[in-house]
A and B are shown apart, each in its own frame.
Chain A
Amino acid sequence: MGDLLAARSQMAVSLGFHILFAVVGIAMPVLMVIAETRWHRTGDAMYLELAKRWAKGTAILFAVGAVSGTVLSFELGLLWPSFMRFAGAIIGMPFSLEGFAFFAEAIFLGVYLYGWERISPRAHIAAGTVVAVSGAASALFVVIANAWMNTPAGFRLQSGLPVDVDPIAAMLTPAAFPEVLHMLLAAYAATGFAVAGIHAMMLLRDRRNAFHRRALAVALIVGVPAAIVQPFSGDISARYVARWQPPKLAAMEGQFRTEAGAPLRIGGIPDVQAERTRWALEIPGGLSLLAFHDAHAVVHGLDAVPRRDWPPVPVVHVAFQVMVALGTYLALLGLWIVVEAWRRRDLAANRWLMRAVALASPMGFLCIEAGWTVTEVGRQPWIIFGVMRTSDAVTPMPGLIVPFLVISALYCFLGVVVVWLLYDLVMRSPITRESDGAAAAPAAA
């Protein structure tokens, strides 16, 4: 393995690991605050128990997210020093703001976790709300920094160096809005369904468990709306990519040739040598329609750029297909849940629905990993799209395979431990039963 590939792999492992915990840090506080609010409204102590148990899990996940995020902030320099030297002054601003959002998150999570008996219930919910808001703000700022790498703005190039640096313009880069929207919705959908899926699994064993019924309802309130809205946000993202990063869209769709009325390909494997995508289900004019809202629009294929500027097409195409497939599953499942809840059916009693929700548990996270693969691999061979190549940004230190393997081993170990701890936490859930009459159907989302 060469140094560049090792550095890219280490970055991929570090990001892929951190994003799981970051996403939980964004969405779990919302679930906890909803549960705690319901406890105050209804006086039902089970909701308090729920908030406390979720808080325990969140505390573990947040800690791992905080330290793995620290690793990333250093790795930006450790692996890509030339990139940071070029870009630090331009995109340091969102990172700095993220620093303060992270401060707020960490401070009020401490207050939330350790303050149950020290502050008033109102202050406690307020602390949880601050954690939720600052978690979303953290995501906003970090994703803005990533958006800048896709659509660099706020500077002018003069003999290879940035001049006229404008950090504010850099933050308002075109990719910022679609990326942030898509990521935040993904965080709520993935976490909501992951949590709902776990409790659905427990309900399949014990349908009347009062604890899991309440947990399911709260988790779906967060997950379902986000999953249903997400395809619309995906449409905004795709149209932005079509406009600003045509090679990325071409790789996502396996579109080798520039053509009018380009077809939408579902599935298929791009063959880079033959410059065509095989075994895909093609819908005539579909891509043009989706990308430009015009079935006859011209879509730029990979042939529009030199081959050395192509991203790794098969990886991007397959990752995109996986993301769309899983996202569609979650959106359709969300609609099914809305219909069932609308008809005032008992969700937990519907075994097929519970199975479908249980199956959805890992899907949002897989979706997020696939989506980031599309964004990051699709940007290659550039670290700053059209401005700096990834190969020019890597650190001069040889032997980068060693830190890559060390960090990977560390994260594998932590991943296993976290899963085991959470399993243990779920298995020790309360087993209070509930009579059929009292079964609370979740409110329609």
Chain B
Amino acid sequence: MAGGVPKFIRGTWSVLVVLVAACSHSTIPPEPPPPAGIVDLNEEGWRELRARYRGRVLLVNFWATWCEPCREEYPALVKLYGTYHAQGLSLVAISMDEPESVPAIAQFLRSQGAQFGSYRHNFRDFAAFVDSVNPRWGGGIPASFLYDREGKLVASWQGATRYEEFERAVRPLVP
């Protein structure tokens, strides 16, 4: 084919560049300070939380202290946050534990060296909340949801997820 790169491939590249640009912006707002201790989260708190993190890539993880696969995947979350935090990744953990398990939540997070914000579920209608996060989410834990800087849901996982899978989704969203 004479004349270098064919015209249609140049066109395709242009569209790709726009798509990639849509997934990765250059200004990264500072991370909102995490709450002191384990805070109960209801529907209003969830909306405020999402708004607070707008401008940063946000990974939300649902877990519980008694959930074995949740505990298994935690090192991956801690590593992911450590690796990409400076590039604009924030992480929020929402525990499905009962109120009396707050000390156990704190102890587990300490043992993992987790530096990110941690909450405990206190939704008035959990089924409706699950639907609002992703209608395809059945409500099983562990479950994780990745939002881009505009707050759009770009990836969802249910079941213990490996570091590489998280990283594959996060990488294109950070500079």
A, B: real partners: no
Interface residues of A (CB under 8 A from B): none
